[in-house]
Structure formats: C-alpha cells, structure tokens
Amino acid sequence: MKVLKFGGTSVGSVESILSLKQIVLNAAEEQPVVVVVSALGGITDKLIATSRLAVEGKDEWKQEFDAMVDRHHKMIDTIITDSRNREKLFNIVDALLEQLRSIYSGVYLIHDLSPKTQDAIVAYGERLSSQIVATLIEGAHWFDSREFIKTSSKNGKHILDSELTNKLVKKTFADLPRISLVPGFISMDKDNGETTNLGRGGSDYTASIIAAALGAEILEIWTDVDGFMTADPRVIPAAYTINQLSFIEAMELCNFGAKVIYPPTIYPVCVNNIPIRVKNTFNPQHPGTLIKQKVDDDNKPIKGISSIKGTTLITVTGLSMVGVIGVNRRIFTALAEQGISVFLVSQASSENSTSIGVQDTDAEHAVTVLNNEFAKEIETGAMFPMSAESGLATVAIVGENMKHTPGIAGKLFGALGRSGISIIACAQGASETNISFVVQEKYLRKSLNVIHDSFFLSEYKVLNIFICGVGTVGGKLIEQIRDQQEILKKHSRLNLNVVGIASSKKAIFSREGIDLNKYREQLDQAEPSNAKKMLEGILKMNIFNSVFVDCTASIEVAKLYQELLEHNVSVVACNKIAASSKYTNYKHLKETALAHGVKFRFETNVGAGLPIIGTINDLVHSGDRILRIEAVLSGTLNFIFNELSEEVPFSETVRLAHEKGYAEPDPRIDLSGMDVVRKLVILAREAGYKVEQDDVEKHLFVPDEYFEGSLETFWKRLPELDKEFEAERKVMEENNMRWRFVAKLDNGKTSVSLQKVPQEHPFYELAGSNNIVLLTTERYKEYPMLIQGYGAGASVTAAGVFANVMSIANI
C-alpha cells in the first residue's frame, strides 16, 4: 500500500481537486491507498484571521465566515455532480459550518479566544475538505484522524504520543479499504479528548505517521512544486529540481526553511526506511524528488541551499565561562523548559562566548530567560547581560558529499567575502552535511545567488551588468552583448544579464534582465533619473557578481566609482576622467577595488580596443620596468593630419573628423591635446610613475585664442590657420616627413607635442585614425615592443569595453 498526501493548493481549486481525484484513482488501481488531505488552500489562514476579528468584537467576522461558507458550497456544487451525494454532503458540511458559526459567536460575545478554542476552530478546515474529497472519489472511506492520532500536552505544545498512535493506526486500518480518506493536521489529546493539531504543515506529519505504522511502500507528498529545488526559485530563477535526496539532506533543508515538507514528517518514515516522493499535482508527469536512505551515484558536494529569515543571534559572554563545565547545559535547559527552539549554535574556542540563533518571535523571551538563569553571575560581573542582534537571516548549504570534498568552507566564505557579505556567525557539525551561517537579512538574496552561482548549482555563471550611457559607444556595446548572449550561454555557460541601463536623463532596472531589443522604448517610458538616483537604484538591488560599465564622459558618473567599488560592484570605464584625475584619487580607486575583491578596468581609456594598458600591466607584474613610452594616442588627430593635403586644408580635415564621429562634439577638446595628456597620464601611472596632468609638458599647434569664445566662433575662425599649415605641409612633403602628435614618457618625464617624423620612423606610415605605442623596457631595450591598430571608433571601443567585462567574468 502507499500513502498519498495532498496539500492545500492541491485541494484549492476545481482544477486541482479533479486532478487529485484522477491521481488517487490511478494509484488505487495498483494497490490500496490512504489519502491525507489538507484544508482548501488559504482556509486555515482564513479561519485564524476570522477568529481574531471575532475576539476583537469586530462584526466583519460574519462576512469572512460567510465567504468561507460560500467557497465550500461553490466547490461542492461544481465538483459533485450526483444530486443524492451532493445533498448528503451538504448536510454534513452545513452541520460542521453551523458548529463553527456557534464557536465564532461565542468568541465574539465573550471576547476570549483560548488556545483550546483556537485549536478547535482551525480543525474545521481539514474536517470540511476531507468530507468533500471523500464524497468526490467514489468508493472512498472516510476516517476521523482524531480517533487514532493522539497527543499529550507539554509546555503548551501538543506532542505526539507515538506508541499509542501507532497501535491505533494499525487497529483502525486492519482491514484496509481500496481508498481511505483521512483529514490531515488534526489530532486529539489522549487525556481530555480535546481536539488538537500537529502544527502548521501537520498534514505531512499525519501522512508520515500512517505510512510508518502501516509499513507503506512509499509516501507521496503532492504539492504545487515539482519537488525540492536547489534554492527558492522566487529568489534564484536558475534554481532547478533535485532528483534525489537522502533523508538527512532533506531534513537539513526542511529545518532551514525549505517549506516543501513539514520537518517532523521525515523521521517516522526514515526509521522505517520508507521512501518519500514529492510530486506536483499540477504537473503529475514530472518525476519529482525521491527521498531515501542512500541516493544513487551522486558526486555533487552540495545539493541545495535553504534559509531562515527573522533570525536573532543571542550571545552569552563572560570570562567566567572559560573552562567551566555545564554553562551550555544551563543555556539549553533553561530555553528548552520554556519551549524555545535553538537552531544554530556557535562557540568561540576560548569558551568565553556562545552565540545561539532563535526566531525573532522567541528572542525577547529567550533574553529574559537567560538573564534570569545567569542572574547571579551577571550581578557579580562574572558574566555580561545577554546581547541580542536582530535583522538577521540564517543560510544553510546542504549535501552529504561535502565531507568528501575538501575546500567547501573556504570556497563558500571566499565567494561571500568577494561579494562584500560579512559572516556574523557560522556552525558546522562533525557530519559535515550542513554548513550554516548568519548574515544581515538585507544581504540574504545576494548571499543565496552568490552561493548558487559559485557552486555551479546554476546552469550558467551569471554576470549582472549595469550600463551607463547609450550613445555611440554604449549603444554599440549593448548591440554586441545582445548578439553574443546566446553564444556565450551555449559555449561558455555564461549568462550576461543586463540588469540596468541609464541614459543621461533616465534609467531602467530589472533583476531578471532587460530585453536588449526593446531597451530604448523602455527608457523613453521610464521616470526621470540622474547619477545619484542611478547609484541608489544599483545599491538597492544589492545584486551579486555585478559590474558597472561607464560609457559616458561625465564627471558626475565618474564620481560614483568609489561608492560602487566599496559596495563590491566592479567598474569598467570607457570614461577617462577617474583614471586621469588626481593621483591620490586614482590610487584610492585601485586600492578600494583590491580591498573589496572586485575589479576596476579602464583598458579603453587609451587606444580604444587595443591591449595597451593590459600589456603594460602584464610587463610590470612580471617584473619588467617601463623605461620609455612613445605613442600616437589620438585617432582623431592622426586622422586630421593624414587627411591633410593640398586639396583638403586643415580646417576641412577637422570638420571631416567631426562629421565622421572621430572628434568630440566640441573638436577643441581634441585639438587642445588634453585628451592625449589624460591618456599619457594613465599610461605613466600604469607603468608605475606618479604623474599628474600638470606635470605633462605641452607643445600645442593651435594658438590659445582659438579655444576662447563659442564653438560657432571657433568654426568661423578655423580657416585662418589653413595657409600656415599648408606651407608647413609642403616643406614636409618635400623632405618625406609627416606630422604626428606624439605623447612621450622618458624616465618619468612626460610631454606631448606635434612632431615631424621622417620616413624611416615607425610612426610615419600610421594610417587613418590608428594608434601606435612603442614600449621600451628593461627586457625590450634594443627592439621596443610595438602595439598598433584602430584607436578610435564606436565599434572597436565598445569591443574593448566588452573585453574588459569578459575579463571580470573570468571565463
């Protein structure tokens, strides 16, 4: 025989209850079944809420009660098609409802709701639902579980009398019908005959008790999910169903918040070696999760992650505790006598403090109990008054194979640390089946995602990306990410999840990811935003493994880097402002990134997508020393001087660079050489030199007065320079020379200048908007290292930013 238990959602709607019927009939064709049902979905909560209204003397209890009556009546009218059976069922149900109405009326009149009365009230949910299901399934025999599930009272709680219950279950089902129908949850006090219950979720326990007593082949728990998941799918969308769990693993997950099965359910079937299968009433074809003594060939060290919100950590501290026998016994005895459950214990090896985890609801009482227990020690100063820290959550990773896999704890705490999550307390048993730790509740979601991703429980490694700036570079970057997303998923198991996009005026966020085909329409409809609001939005998401990408030239956006890095968000900057700012700021940003285990990348600050900064970093890190840098770093200026000819004067080449998008909106920024100065400062700093922008010696080619006034005035005056430039150009052409705007670092001294390079110089043939860099080092003295290629353009710059992002993904 087998036992089938159906939860509230399985009897909550017409569709689900008809599915239940078919599942039971199919199972009963093979062997006898005992069916245990919960109350209709949501009814238990409704019963409790209505009792509160009644005890507070509020007339609204009548409306709530009538709504419950109406729901049960409608269910009967819809699913019971035989008129005689329906009439008979109505008589039974209405009699029960009338009893319930009378109890509520009494509570309303005397303004008193004792635990005894509350227990009687909540029992009606299962008493009603079981009668409905018993009538629906032809040939089902209804049994009152109060007749064989017996409890006794201890510390105000109902404790199962296992020995008596087992005898009564065997006696009741000695002649087992093909289909037996039993209300779950409810029980009876063996001493006074009062209705009691097995606690919220107790229907699972009812089914387990019956399965164990009757030696069932299997216990099936039918619910609204496909089984145990690796984590809560509402928090981690990538969570998936676990095929098999051991009893120990299932118990650990249940005790730490996994609500698939009521925790006490596991023990009765475990000791009798009866497997449990968790299945979905709404997806009966899914195999679900099988729970048994030993799982089949499974080498995964971690099976699942579970958590408990509302944790309070109480710390018992005192120097007198060191070496004193019995302190912990007193702690746990005092709490147990008051019915307070402790689910986590962490003790310092010095023995001067013990921390315990309890539910928030028990915290205040627990502190009082312990202060009373150690009152004498506190009075003499041998111990301190109890301290309690709330606003916490407990996380547990579970898996029996952890004990066979070295380094799990190190990997766990390392991953959390890199994400900026501090561990407040931790505990691990000698069995190594469970590692539990306490974090601030605000970091719970982030913690769960970090762990799930780090231990490859997710199908993909996830990198969450915030992109600021949707202009030429930002727009191209988004296109490139969109085009590569599926390829990276398929070949690298990497999910690039763009969770935030911001323009100069608006921002959108989505934890699940933004549709990169429709982001511009979403931005148009978004609320106004600015740099401060964008930062608030990012920090509020508190999302793990994240990177902020700056595709702007904004000072305000660059100012956000420090706080982002401090909150463990990596930064990839196309924006040169931060890395070329005051040296102390540049150094502080790099040190902050290092301290928080995140990355500050800005490869495209120099040379667009060329690997210039990365190469300098590699040389320096491997022990080489940069002696000299010579470089053409402005694709815009190189384009201007390459296009200069007798037919195309200087002013026209500047305008052409502007039209092609090589130059800034205000080309004076390029002509001033400041962009090159910034790039040179960045390279010098990465090479190990402490350089400020003011240290760079500047030899410019456009007189200062052209940088004054409006942009319109600049364009009007620019042709005035054409004659002088043409005269110089002709002389150079005759001597086989060309103009190049060269940035130079030589033994710590920096300069930028417009130089005439001869035909044999490496810079002479530099075409279009290309960049070139010559690196002279201790190892590359005679033949300097040369890096050359496109140094400007939205596509190559976006590709360089993309490469930086991928370096953070570390695939």
Q: How far is CA 682 from the centre of its chain?
A: 35
β-pairing, 570-573 vs 546-550, is parallel
The kind and range of the H/E element at 492 are helix 472-492
Q: Which pLDDT belongs to residue 730?
A: 95
User: How high is the pLDDT of residue 458?
Assistant: 62
What is the structure's pLDDT at 257? 67
pLDDT tens for residues 501-517? 999 999 999 988 999 99
- Any idea what DSSP says for residue 147? G
**Spatial CA neighbour of 469 closest among 391, 575, 620:** 575
Residue 127 scores a pLDDT above 60: yes
pLDDT band at 430 (very low <50, low <70, confident <90, very high): low
Q: What is the pLDDT of residue 49?
A: 96
Distance separating alpha carbons of residues 566 and 181, to the nearest angstrom: 59
- The pLDDT of 182-187, averaged and rounded, is 96
Using one digit for the tens of pLDDT, what is the confidence trace for 620-651?
999 999 999 999 999 889 999 999 999 999 99
Q: Set out the domains of the chain in order of their start, with CATH numbers.
A: 2-224 (3.40.1160.10), 304-454 (3.30.2130.10), 461-606 (3.40.50.720), 612-792 (3.30.360.10)
pLDDT value at residue 452: 86
Name the residue type at position 152: S
d(C-alpha 704, C-alpha 16), whole Å: 81
- Residue 536, SS3? helix
Q: Which residue has the higher pLDDT, 414 or 774?
A: 774
3-class DSSP state of 541: helix
The DSSP secondary-structure symbol of 405 reads S
Please, which pLDDT band fits residue 664 given cuts at 50, 70 and 90? confident
What would the pLDDT profile of 692-731 be if each residue is shown by its tens digit? 999 999 998 999 999 999 999 999 999 999 999 999 999 9
Per-residue pLDDT tens over the stretch 740-769: 999 999 989 999 999 999 999 999 999 888
CB–CB of 771/604 below 8 Å? no
Residue with tokens 């693993």: 249
Separation of alpha carbons 697 and 757, rounded Å: 19
What pLDDT score was predicted for residue 457? 59
Highest mean pLDDT among 249-263, 425-439, 792-806: 792-806
Average pLDDT for 360-388: 93
Average pLDDT, the chain: 92
What average pLDDT does this structure show over 582-592? 97
- Please give the positions annotated as active site: 679
* 385 DSSP 8-state letter: P
In the predicted model, is pLDDT for residue 165 greater than 70?
Answer: yes
pLDDT at 792 over 90: no
Indicate if the pLDDT at residue 811 is higher than 60.
no
Phi/psi of residue 409, nearest 5 degrees: -65, -40
Length of the chain: 811
395 sits in the region (left: phi over 0; alpha: psi -120 to 50; else beta) called beta
Q: Report the pLDDT value the prediction gives residue 232, as an integer from 0 to 100.
A: 84
Residue 226: CB partners within 8 Å, gap ≥ 6?
Answer: 241, 279, 280, 283, 286, 288, 289
Beta bridge partners of 755: 740
> pLDDT confidence of 565, banded at 50, 70, 90?
very high
pLDDT at position 96 over 90? yes
Say which residues have a Cβ less than 8 Å from residue 470's Cβ, sequence separation at least 6.
478, 501, 502, 503, 519, 520, 523, 551
Band of pLDDT at residue 297, cut at 50, 70 and 90: low
C-beta separation of 482 from 516 below 8 A: yes
pLDDT in tens, 438-447: 999 999 999 9
Percent of the chain with pLDDT over 70: 98
Using CA atoms, how far apart are residues 625 and 643, in angstroms rounded to an integer? 37
pLDDT of residue 418 exceeding 60: yes
Give the span between the Cα atoms of 257 and 621, in whole angstroms. Answer: 47
The mean pLDDT of 234-261, rounded to a whole number, is 85
Q: pTM score, two decimals?
A: 0.73
CA dist., res. 314 & res. 311, Å (int): 10
Confidence of residue 60 (pLDDT cuts 50, 70, 90): very high
Judge contact between 220 and 206, C-beta under 8 A.
no
The residue with greater pLDDT, 256 or 158, is 158
The secondary structure element, H or E, covering residue 26 is helix 14-28
The per-residue pLDDT for range 13-52, each reduced to its tens digit, is 999 999 999 999 999 999 999 999 999 999 999 999 999 9
Nearest residue to 133 via CA among 167, 183, 77? 183
